[in-house]
Structure 1
Amino acid sequence: MLVLCSVTGSPSHGRAVLPFARALGDAGHRVVVACPPDIAGVFDGAPVVVEPVFATMADSAEHLGPAVARLGGPAALATLTATEVTTALLPTLFAGPQVTGSARALLALVESHGTPDLVLRDGGETAGFLVAEHLGVPCVAAPSGAGNVLSPDVVADALSERRDELGLAAPDDPAALHRWGRLDCMPPQFSLAGPQIAPARAFRQDDQVSRGETLPGWVGALPGSRPLVVAGLGTAMPAMAGRAERRAPVDPHTALRTVAEAASRLDAEVVLSTGGLPVDDLALPAHVHPAPWVPQPLLLQVADLFLTHGGYNGVREAVRHGVPLAVLPQFGDQEHNARRIAELGLGAHCTPDAAEVAATCTRLLGDDDVRARMRSAQRAMLTLPPVEDTVGVLEDLAARRVPALVA
């Protein structure tokens, strides 16, 4: 069968789709991945055809300008809570005018590659949803933080505008984002999905999404007698430091400084993943080890704590390796994720104060109850079927042998 994958946003979105696209390609299916140019490298070596036809995250962020202006501009934005900002910006982030261009690019790919039997989309990518709807083919969302909070009512009006711009007919149920089901890599009892989100078919989180990675030698030389904390802000935050920075919902430099200052206060070795943001002007102590990028899933295998912005990929990777989470959310689904992590007993929700973040991390490093709860989540994840088993499930869906994925 022919599978069309649609991925937008940051490289982390590509890594969420990669295991499923790779499994389909390994099984002999034709897989075409539409994505921005800066995500294309995520799929290097995978048995897929990559078409870098989408706008980058920085370019797409240009459409946030009017939404930010409606909130009163950047100054007013700073007075709002992360939840208020997220609620106001979600329709534009995931169903704004950039989606019209993405849908046109996908329709052009359909002309050149043929009509797909199935669309597999990044959970925050809605152009694939619109194109699948237009073609009448099944569409499934990959595991996604956006998918956990993007309830149909949030984007219904914006998607109707996109259909009008594209000249597409409105379906009987225009708000059914998951009429064919969705995928996840968290055990159902530890799901982060919001109450209005359809249940998912769960598969085990891959222990190494990218193949052939190794840790840098200096990590192996860190003293094993001290706790190891992994700290970072993921890949989406640094992407906001480009030309769209003034329209970004948060300042990535400020966020990184808060994390770095908190790390400096810890009695532990800290690997600080900077995402390429500059830290030369920070007086980091010897126990804080900055790096532009590290293979996070590998590093988490030897970590005692993960200080994170709360991106959904990182949350799943931490659960896969049984590492408690200190979550300092910034935007998007991260505030929701932080609350759910605390509710589930897998870590703590941090406030944006370096001293308080450090105190929370210190407490978590000695919290046996949180560690035991995380170990339970890890064991539950390991009972899930491997990602490779999605191939048969998606084949049945594409052939209409089943009406939808069931949890």
Structure 2
Amino acid sequence: MLTTVTGSPSHARAALPFVRALEGTEHEVVVACPPDLARVFDGAPARVEPVLTPMSEAAARFVPQIQALGPEPDPAAVVARVFGGEHLVDEVRALRSACPAPDLVLRDGGEFAGLLYAEELGVPHLPAPSGAAHVLDPAHLGPLLDERRTALGLATPASDSLTPYGRLDCMPPSFSFAPDWLPEPFAFRQDDEVDRGGRLPEWVAALPAGRPLVLASLGTALPMMKDAGRTPPGGPPADPAAGLRALVAGANDVDAEIVVATGGLECEVAPAPHVHLERWVPQPLLLQVTDALVTHGGYNTVREAVRHGVPMVAFPQFGDQFASAGRISSLGLGRQVDGDSLAEGLTAVLADAAVRGRARAAQRAMLALPAIGADWPAVVDRRWSHDG
């Protein structure tokens, strides 16, 4: 199996449990990713080939194309340009050497060199759980992929579906974040031990009892965009740390112990004594004991929150995060806020019994799904056709 991953570390962590689940089977696994994501797969039963384009290099190519879309572009068109860019042609050529004859391609939902390479070889391909896949409308992405197919000498498929063999998800179908154009998934329970061997820091264990505990994080992508240029709506923000400053300012006004994972971004806003800034925290572990989560709306984080029944306050920053934030609100799993309403929204969610009940209902539905380790190898072994 060839696994292809792009983007930020969270994208790699979405694929990691599926790679690990093949340990001890007869399947050989090759992971193709950017060099800066290779470490995510340390210890995994896979040969890692760091041959794909890092996000920083891809950004240098897609920012001018996004700017050419005008001052108020369709966000779906922006996301399509990010993931369907010219870099895919070079990446397919790299995959030919990295893994000459895969029988199945498992790709990050926003990674399309793997899709094109699978088409070239005539083998099935499946997307891993991905928020990007929820906003990559075939109407916008299809023409871009056709340009890449022409450059590679590939035929255009009869169908414009990006998932002709189906897709993977780690969200209960009754709480789906997927749009109508995506098929029903092979659904699995979210792995709650992606980072094995973790433990809570002692200072977290020593926080005052009897007060709400909140985890706040804006994900792993923004810290990778410190040098991003100004882009139009839908693209990465010109100042990646702006969201962190607004988050800390809002957290200062909430009566709770709030742990903020900064990802390494600098924050000029001084935190109040009850706001604790850390570069990194063991998120799945901490979610087991938190009363609420402030999140950018990254789909990996959303799934982990549902896995642990944690209400959410969605503070989206760019791309598919806005779609996820809207879905959090419409499903009753929390609220969507901006910088000005963050403190009010978090205070309301902490006091909202209905949201807590809805988050618990989603957790029960999640726990009723099969484990990746138990059922994923059987999916890999199945006989494949275009209709899944």
Q: What TM-score range do you get, normalising by the shorter chain?
A: over 0.9
Separation (CA, whole Å) in 1 of partners of 2:16 and 2:387: 22
Q: Which moved more, 1:200-209 or 1:101-110?
A: 101-110
Aligned-pair CA distance for 1:25: 2.9
Which AA in structure 2 matches 1:392?
A
Work out whether 1:129 is the aligned partner of 2:115. yes
2:273 is matched with which residue?
286
2:262 is matched with which residue?
274
1:307 is matched with which residue?
294
Query: Structure 1 residues 196, 266: CA separation in 2 closer, same or farther (over 3 Å shift)?
Result: same
2:368 is matched with which residue?
383
2:79 is matched with which residue?
90
From 179, 183, 187, the equivalent of 1:202 is: 187
Query: Structure 1 residues 125, 385: CA separation in 2 closer, same or farther (over 3 Å shift)?
Result: same
Separation (CA, whole Å) in 1 of partners of 2:324 and 2:156: 32
Aligned-pair CA distance for 1:245: 4.0
1:52 is matched with which residue?
50
SS in 2 for 1:318: helix
Separation (CA, whole Å) in 2 of partners of 1:8 and 1:292: 22
Pairs within 5 Å for 1:4-403? 4-72=2-70, 76=71, 80=72, 86-110=75-99, 114-173=100-159, 175-242=160-227, 244-247=228-231, 249-250=236-237, 251-279=239-267, 281-353=268-340, 356-388=341-373, 389-397=375-383, 400=384
Separation (CA, whole Å) in 2 of partners of 1:256 and 1:86: 22
Q: Can you list the C-alpha shifts for 1:65-117, whole angstroms capped at 9, x where unaligned? A: 22232144xxx4xxx5xxx562231221111112112211112213xxx3111
TM-score scaled by structure 1? 0.91
Separation (CA, whole Å) in 2 of partners of 1:85 and 1:295: 36
Which AA in structure 2 matches 1:164?
T
| Contiguous gaps of at least 5 residues in structure 2 | none
Aligned-pair CA distance for 1:147: 1.5
Query: Structure 1 residues 68, 172: CA separation in 2 closer, same or farther (over 3 Å shift)?
Result: closer
Aligned-pair CA distance for 1:403: 5.4
Aligned pair count reads: 383
Indicate conservation of the 8 Å contact 1:63/1:92, yes or no.
no
Indicate conservation of the 8 Å contact 1:85/1:249, yes or no.
no
Aligned-pair CA distance for 1:252: 1.2
Separation (CA, whole Å) in 1 of partners of 2:77 and 2:369: 36
Indicate conservation of the 8 Å contact 2:131/2:320, yes or no.
yes
Indicate conservation of the 8 Å contact 1:31/1:47, yes or no.
yes
Separation (CA, whole Å) in 1 of partners of 2:39 and 2:208: 34
Question: Sequence identity, in percent?
Answer: 52
SS in 2 for 1:30: coil
SS in 2 for 1:25: coil
TM-score scaled by structure 2? 0.95
Q: Which moved more, 1:359-368 or 1:161-170?
A: 161-170
Indicate conservation of the 8 Å contact 2:164/2:386, yes or no.
no
Query: Structure 1 residues 99, 403: CA separation in 2 closer, same or farther (over 3 Å shift)?
Result: closer
Which AA in structure 1 matches 2:42?
D
RMSD: 1.5
SS in 1 for 2:370: coil
Separation (CA, whole Å) in 2 of partners of 1:403 and 1:38: 34
Structure that is richer in helix per residue: 1
Which AA in structure 2 matches 1:259?
L
Separation (CA, whole Å) in 2 of partners of 1:350 and 1:104: 43
SS in 2 for 1:178: coil
Which AA in structure 1 matches 2:94?
A
Which AA in structure 2 matches 1:127?
A
SS in 1 for 2:166: coil
Separation (CA, whole Å) in 1 of partners of 2:387 and 2:304: 27
Which AA in structure 1 matches 2:77?
A
